[in-house]
Structure 1
Amino acid sequence: MEIGVFIHIHEDTDIMQEFQKIRNMGLRSCQVSIWDTRLYTDENAEAIREAQAGTGVNVSALWAGWSGPQVWDFYEGPLTLGLVPGAYRHARLKELLAASDFAEKLQVSDVVTHAGFLPENPNDPDYTGVISALRYLAGYMKEKGQYFLFESGQETPTTLVRAIGDVGTGNLGINFDTANVILYGKANPADAAGVFGRYVRNMHCKDGEFPVDGRNLGREVPLGQGRANLPQVLQILVNAGYRGPLTIEREISGEQQIRDIEWARDYLTEILKNLEPRS
């Protein structure tokens, strides 16, 4: 398992410089996040490929954002996020198709996003609508040899695994964010790891605390200081056969973000040394 980091690319990002920062931290893997679909250009694809070649840092997945309103809480979140809200579903589906095309230019097989607050009730019209949209997207991606990965957290693990089965195209997986299942109050990460198992193709190694009220998400904290219990989670995933990237995400900025990423790198390195071989 290779330790990597999650990076954002904006219009003014010096892509080579961002990749060099990763390399300077002793890492060789990253996920690239792009929210502005206008950045899915041939020029940016070439710049990312050149940065990979120049630094030896591999892109393990494209994290694809989408347009429209985004409210990250428990009241407006279900109305604004991902493919669940019918008002934004068609436009965002088109944007995810464009992300698939861009990932193909990068020669990256995995595209990740939040699908939204998937309803627990599989008979809910919003659930069936999302499944239909995802089936179309996954079919489009399958022809390119790509996988669509659900970013975990906004739904229970059971609902997420059900959605993968209901889409049924065989090229869906999970980007397991070990903090999101906490921040959204949906699961204990170790329990989630047991449910997700073979579907995990990438990870956000992140930590946090559970919500303390019914409106706002829980609080993200540096890795190892919250409820994620990465030693237990990674052992469960290793036992399930996971050998993919361990992508560090820290949702702050500035020098403290760099220090927390370096701490997370060292913390994960120690965990990997102590993992038991798959039984």
Structure 2
Amino acid sequence: MLECFKKPFDESLRIARDIGADALQIGLFALNQSAGERAEALDKMKAHGLRVSAVCGDLGGHGFTRAEDNAAKIETSKRIMEMALAFEADVVTTHIGVIPADKGGCYGVLAEACAELGRFGEQCGARFAIETGPESPEVLRDFLAQLPTKGIGVNYDPANLVMVTGADPIEGVATLKDWIVHTHAKDGVMLKQTDPAVIYGYFADGGIEDFRMEEYFRELPLGQGRVDIPAWLAALSKVDYDGFVTIEREVGSDPVGDIAMAVRYLKEMMRR
């Protein structure tokens, strides 16, 4: 992901090229840009031999779990899908909020929002991809299966499953195979089990500093956590996934070094 470098735009492009990346996932820096400004940014990426794998369209807060907030968030998300297409990408990734396993509470609100966004995606040629993490792959699969649209997919992040739910990230690939349209290559470890809704609630309310996150889970450089990366890549291959494997490194004192190492590691694994 471009923002993981924590560098200015042009410098990040040079770094991505130099470490051997083929594509970048971008954030919302271009949401309010003109068509000309977006075209200029895309031309810069292409000049470095880079494509856009997806746009991260996460709007923060409680996702789409609160009906009173959804009209504005849905319209913004539609504009983000249009932005993705302007960058020649057809996937927008996001966290929608915690899907209730018992189908109670905000389940219907989430389904209604995703149905509208999925229909819009079908019309314009984009996919709105829910990132794995706050619920089990089975709960997410059942939620997706009941939607009246094919415009909603999955951004498969194996580390989120390991760190937050404790679900098996290898078995989860088969569970969600019909919906995976993008992936995050990320690693980590769970230190203490807790309710995923509590974790994502702290993120949503902006109080994650009070949560003592380091007591519950830790993101680690690729290959150093509990995600069996070779087995995960093999599982993706087995279900004929041929999309991007996008490195996400959200923490650490040397993100450039960690991402460069991850590029080398993934390319080595993929050659086997």
- Relative to the length of structure 2, the TM-score reads 0.85
The match for 2:138 is 158
Q: Secondary structure at the match of 2:54?
A: strand
- From 43, 47, 70, the equivalent of 1:54 is 47
Aligned pair count reads: 252
The match for 2:201 is none
Alignment of 1:121 with 2:102, yes or no, is: yes
Q: Secondary structure at the match of 2:2?
A: strand
Q: Distance in 2 between matches of 1:91 and 1:37?
A: 18
- From 149, 170, 173, the equivalent of 1:169 is 149
- From 13, 24, 31, the equivalent of 1:19 is 13
- The structural deviation recorded for 1:63 is 0.9
Render the CA deviation track for 1:131-184: whole Å, top value 9, x for unaligned: 111111111121111111111111110111112212231122211111111121
State the identity as a percent.
Answer: 24
Q: Distance in 2 between matches of 1:113 and 1:88?
A: 16
Gaps of 5+ in 1: 1-5, 71-79, 275-279
The match for 2:249 is 250
CA 1:143–1:56: 2 relative to 1, 3 Å: same
The match for 1:92 is 73
- From 232, 239, 261, the equivalent of 2:259 is 261
The match for 1:272 is 270
Gaps of 5+ in 2: 199-212
Is the CA contact (8 Å cut-off) linking 1:37 and 1:95 kept in structure 2?
no
Alignment of 1:181-200 (within 5 A): 181-200=161-180
CA RMSD of aligned residues (A): 2.2
Is the CA contact (8 Å cut-off) linking 1:40 and 1:99 kept in structure 2?
no
Q: Distance in 2 between matches of 1:200 and 1:159?
A: 15
Q: Distance in 2 between matches of 1:118 and 1:47?
A: 39
Is the CA contact (8 Å cut-off) linking 2:31 and 2:80 kept in structure 1?
no
Q: Distance in 2 between matches of 1:267 and 1:105?
A: 31
Alignment of 1:102-251 (within 5 A): 102-122=83-103, 124-214=104-194, 216=213, 217-251=216-250
CA 1:121–1:43: 2 relative to 1, 3 Å: farther
The match for 1:65 is 58
Q: Distance in 1 between matches of 2:115 and 2:35?
A: 27
Q: Distance in 1 between matches of 2:266 and 2:45?
A: 23
The runs of at least 4 consecutive aligned structure 1 residues that moved more than 4 Å come to none
- The structural deviation recorded for 1:43 is 4.7
Q: Distance in 2 between matches of 1:260 and 1:102?
A: 29
**Which piece of structure 1 moves more, 244-253 or 214-223?**
214-223
Q: Distance in 1 between matches of 2:64 and 2:134?
A: 12
Render the CA deviation track for 1:97-122: whole Å, top value 9, x for unaligned: 12112122222211111111111122
Kindly provide the amino acid, as one letter, of the partner of residue 63 in structure 1.
Answer: C
Kindly provide the amino acid, as one letter, of the partner of residue 73 in structure 2.
Answer: R
Render the CA deviation track for 1:68-116: whole Å, top value 9, x for unaligned: xx5xxxxxxxxx4311233432322222112112122222211111111
Kindly provide the amino acid, as one letter, of the partner of residue 50 in structure 2.
Answer: V
Is the CA contact (8 Å cut-off) linking 1:231 and 1:271 kept in structure 2?
yes
Is the CA contact (8 Å cut-off) linking 2:30 and 2:38 kept in structure 1?
no
**Which piece of structure 1 moves more, 207-216 or 243-252?**
207-216
Is the CA contact (8 Å cut-off) linking 1:112 and 1:151 kept in structure 2?
yes
CA 1:40–1:148: 2 relative to 1, 3 Å: farther
Is the CA contact (8 Å cut-off) linking 1:30 and 1:59 kept in structure 2?
yes
Q: Distance in 1 between matches of 2:152 and 2:74?
A: 16
Q: Distance in 2 between matches of 1:61 and 1:153?
A: 18
- The structural deviation recorded for 1:57 is 0.2
